[in-house]
Amino acid sequence: MLRVYSGYAYQQEDMLYIRSLIVEAGLRSGGENKVILLVDMKEKDRRIFDTSEAYAKALADSGIPPEFRSIAVLWDDHLLKSWYPKVPEHRLVKPCFVTSPKHAQFLT
């Protein structure tokens, strides 16, 4: 799992590194392991989880290169606040839980 943020300016070295991680993760595990980009959406006023269209638009606008969008999982402050309303500083909660609805293997 790689944590990135929206608007990150990917350099050629970043692209090569992520590609190599994807290949190595698949080869070493026989395809069982995968690379996930956990994308922190920094835009505080954007409601990316209101509709699937809003999520798709946020993904397209995130700066994630098109070849990596299929492995990206977006999260933002609104999502963590909705999951952990009693936690005053929700960014301290491990954002990797964001992947759990789509990737249940992280719960075990």
What one-character DSSP code corresponds to residue 38? Answer: E
The pLDDT, as a whole number, for residue 53 is 95
What's the mean pLDDT in 95-101?
A: 58
Taking the C-alpha atoms of residue 103 and residue 57, their distance in angstroms, rounded to an integer, is 22
Q: Greater confidence, 76 or 8?
A: 8
Taking the C-alpha atoms of residue 79 and residue 75, their distance in angstroms, rounded to an integer, is 6
From the CB of residue 98, how many other CB atoms can be counted at a distance below 10 Å? 22
Q: In terms of Cα–Cα distance, which of 93, 102, 33 is closest to 72? A: 102
pLDDT in tens, 30-71: 777 788 898 999 887 888 988 999 999 999 999 999 999 999
Domain count, the chain: 1
Q: Is the entire prediction scored with pTM above 0.75?
A: yes
pLDDT in tens, 69-95: 999 999 888 877 777 777 776 665 556
**Domain range for 42:** 2-107
φ, ψ (nearest 5 deg) of residue 64 = -70, 130
CA distances to 15, 21, 57, 98 from 80, in Å: 29, 28, 20, 8
CB 35 within 8 A of CB 71: yes
With DSSP H G I counted as helix, E B as strand and the rest as coil, what are the percentages for the chain, rounded to 5?
50, 10, 40
